[in-house]
């Protein structure tokens, strides 16, 4: 169903220092909203270095802010510019603030980071609230282990921002998976701002202009490491399983991700040349199409990949990371408890025979839909209804009431 929200504007902030998750989630929300509402425009602010590699629908555009990258010690540095980090952050904050001031959004949707990278969106939140913009924080179903998240948010002084600058908090998941802010000691005022939307079903792009260099004629298990920056253990474990010599009835297509270190990618590519039933590529901007054509999926358990598994109703094996965040591990454990997936924990060792057995059994595993979880994929519909409540003219509300 298509409705009209004339001249309405939504600004989405995605800090995206590294990886693909935040950008893909924001893009999915933007596309679903412009498909639902004619006259609505969405602008995405992102620091992703590869945002230009993605297609965007009409009435969705992006502003690229200077990129930063998180180092192993947890600190940040400028991604491409040879300038001081403080200068980069100052430019980012200025671009965000002045873009928002010029665009004049009706809704400002901030993804995951309540104050932005190093607090860069706080000034924009303050300015937009004074102008009557609805400020909304969007959170994944799982953020991190409670103690770690509590310490992080206390250090960033998040609670006052949630209390005074945000109108609502959207959790892109289900109550059955738990609240991402449970145990943080948030006030009732903050708790009452939370709405659970359900997971964000993914729109699968057309394959009309899709060019892939992999063999899709025979059944395959898709192995995806997401952005790849932290997917080495997953790919290593799967390759070891195929190298172990045990019979594997199904071939694998491995997507390492564009951010996996080049030396690791080369090592994996070299080893896969000796495996006749394994293909490996670095990146496909339409990986949803590979997922759709697969008979099962092996993934790390990031939020977006989990949504795609649910949308495509594929048997899945989640191999979560647990460092530096336990988000994927917690999501995997709760998904298993609801009957949505199975999992193997790489922190317990990369036993090739264990992985080989899991890969053999995976295509016969139950699909997520057979768990019969109510509202599992209601996310986009729920968000669209909340947006309409914010933006529909008051006289129109009285007519339709």
d(CA 238, CA 300): 12
pLDDT in tens, 14-43: 986 656 678 889 999 999 999 999 999 999
Instruction: Give residue-wise pLDDT tens across range 253-307.
Output: 999 998 899 999 999 999 999 999 999 999 887 889 999 999 999 999 999 899 9
Instruction: Encode burial over 76-110: b for 16+ CB neighbours within 10 A, e otherwise.
Output: bebeeeeeeeeebbebbbebbbebbeeeebbbbbb
Nearest CA-CA partner of 169 in 144, 192, 136, 196: 136
The CATH number of the domain covering residues in 220-371: 3.40.50.2000
d(CA 259, CA 23) in angstroms, rounded, equals 14
Answer whether residue 109 shows pLDDT above 60. yes
The per-residue pLDDT for range 136-191, each reduced to its tens digit, is 999 999 999 999 999 999 999 999 999 999 999 999 999 999 999 999 999 999 99
Q: Please give the average per-residue pLDDT across 336-350, as a whole number.
A: 97
The Cα-based distances of 31 to 28, 87, 180, 261 in angstroms read 5, 33, 25, 31
pLDDT bucket at 393, cuts 50 / 70 / 90: low
What's the half-sphere exposure (Cβ side, CA atoms, 13 Å) at 194? Answer: 21
Chain centroid to Cα 395, Å, comes to 37
Report pLDDT for 72: 60
Torsion of CA 364, 368, 373, 379, to 10 degrees: 180
Q: Give one DSSP letter per residue of 337-366, joined into a string.
A: HTTS-EE--GGG---HHHHHHHHHHGGGSP
Give residue 205's pLDDT. Answer: 81
Residues in contact with 291: Cβ distance below 8 Å, sequence separation at least 6, in sequence order: 222, 224, 297, 308, 309, 312, 314
Q: Percent of the chain beyond pLDDT 70?
A: 95
Cα 155 to Cα 74: distance, rounded to the nearest angstrom: 14
Closest Cα to residue 229, out of 153, 163, 321? 321
* Gap between the Cα atoms of 295 and 292, Å rounded: 8
Closest to 121 measured CA to CA, from 104, 143, 100, 148: 100
299 and 342 Cβ atoms separated by less than 8 Å: no
- Cis-peptide into 324, omega within 30 deg: yes
**372: three-class secondary structure by DSSP:** coil
Pick the CATH number of 3-201+377-400 from 3.40.50.2000, 3.40.50.300, 3.40.220.10, 3.90.1150.10: 3.40.50.2000
Residue ranges of the chain assigned to CATH 3.40.50.2000: 3-201+377-400, 220-371
Work out the average pLDDT over 195-213. Answer: 88
> Which CA distances in Å does 169 have to 140, 197, 342?
11, 10, 30
């Amino acid at each position: 169903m298509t409705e009209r929200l004339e001249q309405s504007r939504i600004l989405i902030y995605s800090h995206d220092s590294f990886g693909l998750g935040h950008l893909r989630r924001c893009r999915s929300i933007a596309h679903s909203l412009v498909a639902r509402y004619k006259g609505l425009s969405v602008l995405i602010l992102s620091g992703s270095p590869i945002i230009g590699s993605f297609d965007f629908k009409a009435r969705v555009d992006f502003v690229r802010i200077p990129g930063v990258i998180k180092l192993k010690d947890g600190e940040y540095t400028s991604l491409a510019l040879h300038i001081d980090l403080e200068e980069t952050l100052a430019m980012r904050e200025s671009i965000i603030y002045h873009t928002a001031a010029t665009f004049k959004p009706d809704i400002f949707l901030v993804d995951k980071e309540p104050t932005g990278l190093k607090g860069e969106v706080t000034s924009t939140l303050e300015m937009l609230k004074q102008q009557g913009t609805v400020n909304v924080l969007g959170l994944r179903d799982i953020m991190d282990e409670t103690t770690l998240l509590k310490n992080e948010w206390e250090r960033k002084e998040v609670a006052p921002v949630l209390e005074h600058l945000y109108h609502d908090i959207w959790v892109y998941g289900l109550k059955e998976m738990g609240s991402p802010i449970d145990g943080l000691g948030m006030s009732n005022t903050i708790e009452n701002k939370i709405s659970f939307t359900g997971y964000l079903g993914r729109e699968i792009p057309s394959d009309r202009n899709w060019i892939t260099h992999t063999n899709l004629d025979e059944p395959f298990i898709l192995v995806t490491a997401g952005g790849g920056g932290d997917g080495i253990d997953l790919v290593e474990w799967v390759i070891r399983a195929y190298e172990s010599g045990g019979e594997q009835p199904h071939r694998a297509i491995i997507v390492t991700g564009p951010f996996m270190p080049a030396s690791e990618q080369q090592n994996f590519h070299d080893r896969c040349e000796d495996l006749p039933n394994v293909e490996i590529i670095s990146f496909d901007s339409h990986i949803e199409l590979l997922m759709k054509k697969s008979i099962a999926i092996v993934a790390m358990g990031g939020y977006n990949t989990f949504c795609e598994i649910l949308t495509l109703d594929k048997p899945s094996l989640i191999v979560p990371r647990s460092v530096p965040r336990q988000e994927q591990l917690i999501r995997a454990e709760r998904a298993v408890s609801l009957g949505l997936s199975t999992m193997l924990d790489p922190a317990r060792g990369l036993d090739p025979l264990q992985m080989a057995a899991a890969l053999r059994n995976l295509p016969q595993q139950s699909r997520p839909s057979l768990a019969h979880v109510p509202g599992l994929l209601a996310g986009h519909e729920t968000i669209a209804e909340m947006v309409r409540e914010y933006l529909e003219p008051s006289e129109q509300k009285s007519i339709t009431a």
